[in-house]
Structure 1
Amino acid sequence: MSTTTPTPEPSPEDISRALAEIERHLTEPAPPAPPPPAEPDDVGQTRRVRQLRAEVAEARQLAELQTDDTPLLLDTAKVRKRRKKAHEAARLHLLGQDPAMRAWQATRMRRLLVGAAMVALTLALAWSTAGVQHFAAEGAEAWSPGWMFAWLVEPFMSLALLVVVGARAYLGTQGQPLNDRKLIRIEYLFLGLTLGMNAWPYLPWTLPDGTDFSLSRLVLHVLGPIVAVAIVTALPIILAAFARLDPTRGPTGGLTGPTYSANVAPLIARAHTLIAAGDLPAAPSANKIQRALRCGMDDARAVRDALAQEAA
């Protein structure tokens, strides 16, 4: 025989809870009914009306946005590129006024000029080698001992001349020009011999009978010695001018003191105001100036140097 478990009777608390739930359900307001779906505005309108309505709405939005000047305040890529180049040019200009930079530029240019002059002198003397060989061979047969030794006349004279010119050029770059008269006479002796030997076979009174004088041929053969004379004469003058050059003086003769960009002057005035207010010390560092003025480090250094110069 089967047995069933008797159902427990509800307690008074369960009955009270159920009655409270029924009462809360009866007193709550019914949820509002959902609104009926709105009919679209373009119901019954033609395609042209709907298109014109969209164009008008778009035009109103564009007119509202066009009154905002925020996009005009932004720099374009072209403007930023131009500003970058201008800032770079200004910094290069300021760097060019620095005495150390001017000294480096002068030294570099002096070396370049001396190197070019020595190369030109070497080529000029090499150009005259053929003319000197023709003079020294005196009609000797080709590849004969006299004809071959004639090719050595110009090289040993050129080497001796380059020793003197090279020594004068080097000492001139060191600020001690060598202007000894004996050395100058030796230079012009070698140059005169080279010029004479190149020109002699082509002068009108030395040409063989039946040979017409040619000015162009004469100029062509004396071109090398003339260039050598010009270089030997001009190089000491140029080096002496470089030796007298003072990199601490500007092109106008004044001292190349600190020069600043146009935006540093307002920063200096603001720095004076902050110093007077006690926000900056009397001799602030570049880091303090940068933090106080919210500027670049280059401008901060310029303000620091200006304040130090004023206090000196």
Structure 2
Amino acid sequence: MNRAQELARSAAEAAEVRAHLAHPDVVALGIERVRRQVDWMCWSGIVLGLAFTMTNVQQFAAGSAAAWSLRWVAAWVLDPTVSLVLLAILRAEQVTARYRVATGAWVRRAKWFTLAATYVMNTWESFVARDVAAVVLHSVPPLVVFAAAEAITDLRDKLTEAVIAASAAGGPVVNAEVHEVGARSRKLFADYLADARAAWSPGVEVTPAWVREVSGCSRGLSSRLARALADEVRA
């Protein structure tokens, strides 16, 4: 085998490997691995941050109570009460974000209230004492938890969108296989477009929201579907 034949064989092998690496299922698997790593690191930071705040909240609730008195012991219950509610909300958002289901206003209010309560109870005595160093020390963990709690939901949503974008990039736009995460069946871009096309009638404004309503597609896919159908309508 001469040099040209070796290069041709190497090129063919590289093309085959690249085709497999670019396959939507392979890309989705890689993103799922990243999602697990992100979840593990964020959850570790959140749990450690809440564990750090537990002692401060207990001291805030116990006040001048004697050690091992009823009030002193009951004070240890306050922080887990708030933290468990927060963790329950974050765990639920982990699932809703994965399947791109929007939560109600009360979910966000409850999350912010628990985070604000944790922050106030951690820093109250430091603010009263006007100890700037203590305020900074006791502010960092609750604020990190707050930032992580807000960021992790958006990160999951974007990772899901990355799966959809990678799937769409696996072939021509019209024939791209789009994975609706968690769905048992696979639906093609063309199928969603056909559903939207069948539902459209003259005078109807083609918007991503309308496309989602009539086709059941995801938010990340609706914009491209709306553009594609709008181009057909204008043509």
User: Normalization by structure 1: what TM-score?
Assistant: 0.48
Question: Aligned pair in 2 of structure 1 residues 100, 153: CA closer, same or farther (>3 Å)?
Answer: same
Gapped runs of 5+ residues in structure 2?
3-10, 176-235
Higher relative contact order (CA 8 A, sep 6+): 2
Give the Cα separation in 1 of the matches to 2:126 and 2:64.
14
SS at match of 1:248: helix
1:181 aligns with 2:105: yes
For this pair of structures, how many residues does the alignment match?
168
Q: Is 2:27 the partner of 1:102?
A: yes
AA paired with 2:167? T
Deviation digits for residues 221-256 of structure 1 (CA, Å, limit 9, x no counterpart)? 1222111110111112112212323232349x976x
- In 2, the alpha carbon distance for the partners of 1:191 and 1:134 equals 18
Letter paired with 2:116:
G
CA contact (8 A) 2:42 2:152 kept: yes
Find 1:233's aligned residue among 147, 150, 153: 150
CA distance in 1 between counterparts of 2:12 and 2:134 reads: 56
What is the deviation of 1:119? Answer: 2.0
Give RMSD over aligned pairs. 3.1
The answer as to whether partners of 1:128 and 1:198 remain within 8 angstroms in 2 is yes
Q: Name the larger-Rg structure.
A: 1
Rounded Cα–Cα distance in structure 2 between residues aligned with 1:87 and 1:141: 77
Which residue matches 1:192? Answer: 116
Question: Residues of 2 paired with 1:243 and 1:162: CA distance?
Answer: 22
Question: What amino acid sits opposite 1:202 in the alignment?
Answer: S
What is the TM-score with the length of structure 2 in the denominator? 0.62
Distance 1:226 1:88, change over 3 A: farther
Cα distance change, pair 136–171 in 1 and its aligned pair in 2 (3 A): same
Query: Superposition pairs for residues 1-312 of structure 1, below 5 Å?
Result: 93-173=18-98, 175-203=99-127, 206-207=128-129, 213-245=130-162, 246=164, 247-250=166-169
Give yes or no for contact 1:177–1:236 (8 Å, CA) kept in 2.
no
Whether the aligned pair in 1 keeps the contact of 2:96 and 2:103 (CA below 8 Å) is no
Q: 1:89 to 1:149 in 2, by over 3 A?
A: farther
State the one-letter code of the partner of 1:145: L
